[in-house]
Structure 1
Amino acid sequence: MNTPVSAAAGLATIDAGGVQLADAQLMETMYHDPRTGLRHVERHLRRLARSAAVLGYALRESDVRSRLAQRLSGVGAARVRVRLHRDGGVDVDVFGPPVAPASVSLVLDDEPVDSRDVLLGHKTTLRERYDRRRRRNPGADDVVLVNELGHVTETTIANLAARIDGVWWTPPLSSGCLPGVERSWQLDRGSMRERILTPADVLAAEALAVTSSLKGVLPATLRP
């Protein structure tokens, strides 16, 4: 996909808590395995293209692929972050490999997100809404978000899944969550299904998990 996405085609300015989208970059975070390359890279690039089209960012996929190839030459296991600027500029940041915990401790947050907020469906550098919730809950590894309807959405850095009656369920995108790459892969292979989840559902679930392309599927526990 080498046709530029016009910056005038999307939502050029969206106010996100006082910060203009024009100041933000789109992001994709991936795991690099030196033997097999970037995990789910095609899914990540498709999501980046969708966000660029909706939000009005210029994008040449060939530029992203070229920058990744240059930056990852000779790199071992790593966390890789792609940042797309509004004008189509691409930055690639490389960090040490992620460390996956044995289990992730979660806590429910009491500040609702708005399921109608378009930015909830796109990964950007506008992170204050998530960082604020994590600062309020320093005793947990991550925070479970709930929307204005009382439906669980996701955590601040991952999608959420709950096993109920032997089936793994994850909230639908309409609840106001990111279309996570690992989430989509699990749905496509039939390992998870979608349904609206409430805090009561999550508290009563047989098991919980958080999913991300970076760390895969990790078991989780929710503090009451």
Structure 2
Amino acid sequence: MDISLIETLRWEPDTGFVRLERHLARLAQSAEALGLPSAEKARDALFAALPPSALPLRIRLELFPDGRIDVQTAAFTPLAADAVWRVKLATTRLSSTDPLLRHKTSRRALYAAARAEFPAADADEVILLNERGELCEGTITSLFLDDGTGPLKTPPLGSGLLAGVLREELLETGRAIEAVLRPEDLAGGTILAGNSLRGLIRCVPA
């Protein structure tokens, strides 16, 4: 299979890698499911690639089909706590029956197509739906809705989406539950998008 696995992590000078164990666990699970070797070498590769830095870093690890691991680091500037993203809905559709959507892979054509539907100046994130009209996820984020009734609601994996690391944490700690969501549901609460790199971000329809 000509496909690689990707993990994007944040490194903080005081605390180190954010959600490291969750990222490594997802990588290992995906590598086993897709038959990619050498996932067990990812931890050492991450630490070996760390440059001397007193600033937050964005670190991208890619595991290739031949077992090669590439790690790239870059300075990272967190979003302001009061940041608000503008979001739009894509016409590009995901398939709820595609098992690869649950893994973070190099297969990005659908997400790139969705992002390309709108100029960057018009939307900070673009949300994709599946063939049934159910909300799935953003191009780089998991989707959440705070409708005021309790935990955040996030689409189930069965709708066709990535098993996000932040999403997993929120589900396991009870801060979120799975629920099928449709576009009309977004009008009934606060929209949030999030990933392990940036955390949760408040969103408004653009």
TM-score over 0.5 for the pair: yes
Cα distance in structure 1, aligned partners of 2:14 and 2:90: 39
Greater mean alpha carbon deviation, residues 50-59 or residues 97-106: 97-106
| 1:130 and 2:114 are equivalent in the alignment | no
Cα distance in structure 2, aligned partners of 1:180 and 1:137: 24
Name the amino acid aligned to 1:178: L
Greater mean alpha carbon deviation, residues 212-221 or residues 92-101: 92-101
Deviation at 1:98, TM superposition (A): 3.8
Equivalence for 1:201: 185
Gaps of 5+ in 2: none
Equivalence for 1:162: 145
Q: What secondary structure, in the 3-state scheme, does the structure 1 residue paired with 2:97 have? A: coil
Identical columns (%): 36
Name the amino acid aligned to 1:29: T
Greater mean alpha carbon deviation, residues 192-201 or residues 67-76: 67-76
Equivalence for 2:25: 46
What is the total number of aligned residue pairs between the two structures?
A: 200
Q: Does the 8 Å CA contact 1:164/1:205 hold for their aligned counterparts?
A: yes
Q: What secondary structure, in the 3-state scheme, does the structure 1 residue paired with 2:204 have? A: strand
Q: Does the 8 Å CA contact 1:113/1:148 hold for their aligned counterparts?
A: yes
Q: How does 1:119-198 map to 2 (within 5 A)?
A: 119-138=100-119, 139-167=122-150, 168-198=152-182
Equivalence for 1:10: none
Equivalence for 2:34: 55
Q: Does the 8 Å CA contact 2:115/2:126 hold for their aligned counterparts?
A: yes
Equivalence for 1:211: 194
Of 4, 9, 12, which aligns to 1:33?
12
Q: Does the 8 Å CA contact 2:24/2:43 hold for their aligned counterparts?
A: no
| 1:65 and 2:43 are equivalent in the alignment | yes
Cα distance in structure 1, aligned partners of 2:76 and 2:39: 27
Q: What secondary structure, in the 3-state scheme, does the structure 2 residue paired with 1:88 have? A: coil
The TM-score, its normalising length taken from structure 2, stands at: 0.92
Name the amino acid aligned to 1:144: I
CA-based RMSD of the aligned residues comes to 1.3
Q: Does the 8 Å CA contact 1:98/1:214 hold for their aligned counterparts?
A: no
The TM-score, its normalising length taken from structure 1, stands at: 0.85
Q: Which runs of 4+ in 1 moved over 3 A?
A: none
Deviation at 1:161, TM superposition (A): 0.4
Of 79, 95, 107, which aligns to 1:114?
95
Cα distance in structure 2, aligned partners of 1:108 and 1:99: 25
Deviation at 1:166, TM superposition (A): 2.9
Q: Does the 8 Å CA contact 2:92/2:113 hold for their aligned counterparts?
A: no
Q: What secondary structure, in the 3-state scheme, does the structure 2 residue paired with 1:112 have? A: strand
Name the amino acid aligned to 1:110: T
| 1:222 and 2:201 are equivalent in the alignment | no
Cα distance in structure 2, aligned partners of 1:196 and 1:98: 33
Cα distance in structure 1, aligned partners of 2:94 and 2:73: 31
Deviation at 1:99, TM superposition (A): 3.7
Deviation at 1:60, TM superposition (A): 4.0
